[in-house]
Amino acid sequence: MRRMDNRGDFIQRLGLDISINILNLLEDPSDLVRACAVSHSWSRFVIENSLCKQLCLKLFPELSSVTQVIEVENLIEPVKFSAGGSPEWERLKRDNRVYAFFAQGLTPLIKKDCIIEPISASSTDNYPDERIQNTLEPEDRIGYRASYWSSKGESDPNVPEILTYKLVAQLCVVTEIQVQPFQAYFQYGFPIYSSKAVRFRLGYSRHSLELDDDTREGMLIHHQWSDDDFIWTYTSPEFPVAQENKLQKFKLPEAVLCIGGILQVELLGRVQKQEMDGLYYICVSHVQVVGRPLSSPFDIDMLDSSGKWTLKYNPETLCCQSSTQLPEGEVDTPSRVRTFTTRLLQLLGNGPVGNNELDQEPPVL
C-alpha cells in the first residue's frame, strides 16, 4: 500500500527502475560513492545494480572491451569473505570498488601524448643526431636538423627494429598509436624510410628499469631484449605501413588496458635502400600514443612479478614514491595513502592463478 506522506525510504517507494534512473544520471563517481555511504541499503543497491561499472562505461565507452580483463581478475577465487557474503556478492563488491576508482582515476579527456620517455632502440645510426628521443619531439626539426630516429643499415630487408617506450602512467587505456615514417628531403629522390609493417606490444617489465645513467643511455642507442624481460599482455595485429611521409594512425581493434606502462613498436620489414651505401634503413620521425592514463593522485604499483598490482590513491603524491601505510592519527604527516589490492592482470598460461587478497586494511608495501 503506497503512502502519501514523505516518510520512509524514497528509493524503496519509487521502485527499482526510477531509483536506478536517478542514480544513473549522476555523472561523478564521487556521487555514487557518497550514495554508498548513505546507508547499507543504498550501498547494496549501488553494488547490486553495478552502477559504478555503468558509470565507468558511460564516461569511457572504450573500456567496454577491457572490462573482461578487470573482471577476470575478480573471479571467484578462494578468498576470505565476510560473514554472510556469497562469492557473487564479493565479486560485485570488488567490481564496485575497482570501477569507482577507475571512474575517478582515468583522465577525462583522451590524451594524445601518453608516452613519457623512450627506453630503448634496437639500433641507432649517427647517435645522437638520429636518436630515439627525436621521435617524441613534436616538431619536425630541432635547430637546423630534421628530427627523426634512424636504424642502422642492413643488407637484409627482413631485419626488424624495435623501439621501446615508457607510458606516462603505469595504467593507461590505449586506443590508438600513431607513427610517422621519415622522408629524407636532403637526399636525391626524397626517399621515405618506412617499414613494411608495424606491430605493437603493451605490457610491463619484469625487472626494475631504474638503472644508472650509462646503462640507460646505452639502451637508448642499441639494445636487444631477451624474451623474459617483459610480460606482454597485449600484442596487436600487424598493420601495413604506407610509404608516406604522414602521421599514420593505427587504431587498435579494441581499446587495451596497458598495465605496467611499457609500449614496444616493432617495425617489420624494410623497403628503402639508401643510395649511398646500398643498405636498407628504417627511420621514424614521430611516435604518439592516444589513450587515457590513470592520473595522479591515482597510481598503480606492481606488487610482484606474478602480475599482482595495487591501485593506490595518495593525494599527497605528485612526485613522491611513498607507498607505505602511515599509522592513523598521525597529525604531522597528512599523507593519506589508501590502497587496495586488486589483481588486474591474469597471466593466461603463466602459472597458477593466485589468491586475490581482499584486504581489509591496506598492506604495507
Partner 1 sequence: MANGENQNPNPNPIEATPGAAARTITLKTADGEIFEVEEAVAMEFGTVKSFFEDDAVSATKPMPLPNVSGSALSRVITYCRRSLEIRSMIPPATSEDATAAEAVQGEGDLEAEKAAKQERKEFEAEFLKDESNEDVKELILAANYLNIKELLDFLCRSVALRIQNKSVEYARKFFGIEGDYTPEEEAQIRQEYAWAFEGVDED
45 within 8 A of 19, measured Cβ to Cβ: yes
Beta bridge partners of 292: 173
Q: Which residues of 104-141 are buried (b: 16+ CB within 10 A; e: fewer)?
A: bbbbeeebeebbeebbbbbbbbebeebbbebbbeeeee
**HEC secondary structure over 277-293:** CCCEECEEEEEEEEEEE
- 143 burial (CB, 10 Å; 0-12 / 13-18 / 19+) is exposed
Q: Which residue has the cell 635502400?
A: 273
Q: According to CB under 8 A, which one of 13, 112, 141, 145 is a site residue for partner 1? A: 13
Checking DSSP bridges between strand 230-235 and strand 272-273, what pairing results, if any?
unpaired
CA 343, distance to chain mean position in Å, is 15
Task: Measure the CA–CA gap between 61 and 54, rounded to whole angstroms.
Answer: 10
Question: Is the previous residue joined to 128 through a cis bond, with omega within 30 degrees of 0?
Answer: yes
Q: Which is nearer to partner 1, 213 or 328 (CB)?
A: 328
Q: Which residue has the cell 643510395?
A: 275
Selected range binding partner 1 among 1-9, 72-80, 128-136, 200-208, rule: CB under 8 A: 1-9
Identity of the residue, 200 or 298, whose beta carbon is nearer to partner 1 in the bound complex: 298
Provide the residue type at 128 as one letter.
Answer: P
Of 85, 157, 297, 354, the residue at the interface with partner 1 (CB under 8 A) is 297
Question: Pattern 188-217, binding to partner 1, x per CB under 8 A?
Answer: ------------------------------
Q: Which CB atom, from 40 or from 126, has the smaller least distance to partner 1? A: 40
Identity of the residue, 320 or 348, whose beta carbon is nearer to partner 1 in the bound complex: 320
- Pull the grid cell for residue 66: 577491457
The residue range among 19-27, 148-156, 157-165, 185-193 that interacts with partner 1, by the rule CB under 8 A, is 19-27
- Is residue 11 close enough to count as binding partner 1 by CB under 8 A? yes
Q: What are the strands, taking DSSP E only, across 206-261?
A: 230-235, 239-240, 248-259
For the bound state, the minimum distance from the C-beta of residue 37 to partner 1, rounded and expressed in Å, comes to 5
CA distance 6 to 100: 31
Site membership for partner 1, residue 82 (CB under 8 A):
no
Residue 364 binds partner 1 (CB under 8 A)? no
Q: For the window 324-343, what string marks contact with partner 1 as x by the rule CB under 8 A?
A: ------------x-x-x---
Q: Which is nearer to partner 1, 29 or 260 (CB)?
A: 29
Neighbouring C-beta atoms of residue 89, cutoff 10 Å: 15
Instruction: Using the rule CB under 8 A, give the single segment among 22-30, 65-73, 192-200, 225-233 that binds partner 1.
Output: 22-30
Give the per-residue contact string, 230-259, with partner 1 (x = CB under 8 A; - = no): ------------------------------
Q: Considering only residues 96-135, where is the footprint of partner 1 by CB under 8 A? A: 100, 104
For residue 27, the minimal CB distance to partner 1 (Å) is: 7
Window 27-66: contact mask with partner 1 (x via CB under 8 A): xxxxx-xxxxxxxxxx------------------------
User: Is residue 319 a contact residue for partner 1 (CB under 8 A)?
Assistant: no
Angle of CA points 208, 266, 345, to nearest 5°: 50
Secondary element (H or E) of residue 96: helix 87-105
From the list 3-11, 83-91, 231-239, 249-257, the region that binds partner 1 by CB under 8 A is 3-11
Q: Which three cell numbers stand for residue 138?
A: 613534436
Question: Given the complex with partner 1, which of 19 and 124 has the nearer CB atom?
Answer: 19
Which residues are at the interface with partner 1 (CB under 8 A)? 2, 4, 6-11, 13-15, 18, 21-23, 25-31, 33-42, 100, 104, 297, 313, 315, 336, 338, 340
